Amino acid sequence: MWLQDLSFMVDITKHLSNLNLKLQGKDQIITAINDHIKVFKCKLDLWETQLQNENLTHFLTCMMYKTSYYEPIFYKKYSEQIIWLKTEFGNRFQDFKYLENDFELFTSPFSIDAVKVPAHIQMELIEIQNDSNLKRKFNEVGVPEFYNFLPVRYVETRRFACKIKSMFSSTYLCEQLFSLMNSNKSPVRSRLTDIYLNSVLKVASSNISN
C-alpha cells in the first residue's frame, strides 16, 4: 500500500513540478499564467476520469508498479485526490475567475464582443476592431507588444492595458531583488549604506535587459 501511494505521489508531483516551471521566469504577463492554470485544470478533469476507469496513461510510475506487482492493484481511489486538487486550485486562483473577462479583452481585443467590456472602453474598442491597420499589427506582434503600437488617442484602452501588464504574475522580481540585495550587501562591502543600497536596487530592478 505504501509503495502504491508513493507511485501516485511521484507522478502527481512530477505534473505539479512541470506546472511550477511554466509559472516561473521573467517577463511573464498574468494572462499567460492564467492560461497555464486553466490548462492544468483541464488536465485534472482528464486525470480524474481516467483514474476512475483505471487508465494510467499519464501516470507512468503507477503503470510500472501495477504491471510489476504480482497481485491486482487498483488506482481508482486516487481520483479523490485529484478532486481535492481541483478544489484547492479553485480556491487559490479564484481571483482569476473574476478577472476572466478582463483577460479576454486584453488577449483578444478584435474578437471580444463590445457588450462584454466596461462601458468607458466600448467606443474605443469598436474603433480599434474596425481599424484594419491595427488588426494587421496585432496579427504581426501579438500580445502584449500590440499595445505599444496603439495610438495615444485610445486613452482608456491604453490605461486598461497598463493595468493588466503591471499585475505581478509571479514572484520572479521579488526573488531577483533579494538575490541582488544579498550580492551587494555582503560583509566585504560594509561601507555600503542603506541609502546607496536602495539606489543600486532601483537601478538593477528597472533594467529590463538584465
Grid cell, residue 64, equals 510500472
Residue showing cell 462601458: 119
Residue showing cell 537601478: 203
- Cβ contacts of 203 within 8 Å, gap of 6 or more: none
Find the angle CA(144)-CA(150)-CA(152) to the nearest 5 degrees: 130
- The rounded distance, in Å, linking the Cα atoms of 27 and 42 is 25
Residue showing cell 487508465: 55
- Cβ contacts of 126 within 8 Å, gap of 6 or more: 114
Q: How far apart are the first and last CA of the chain?
A: 49
pLDDT of residue 205: 62
- The rounded distance, in Å, linking the Cα atoms of 139 and 18 is 30
| Contact between residue 51 and residue 123 where contact means Cβ atoms under 8 Å apart | no
- The rounded distance, in Å, linking the Cα atoms of 85 and 1 is 21
Encoded amino acid at 166, one letter: S
pLDDT of residue 70: 78
Spell out the per-residue pLDDT of the chain, length 210, in tens: 899 999 999 999 999 999 988 888 777 889 999 999 999 999 999 999 999 999 999 999 999 999 888 788 899 999 999 999 999 998 988 888 889 999 999 999 999 999 999 999 999 999 999 999 999 999 999 999 999 999 999 999 999 999 998 887 666 666 667 777 777 777 766 666 777 777 777 776 665 444
- The rounded distance, in Å, linking the Cα atoms of 157 and 126 is 11
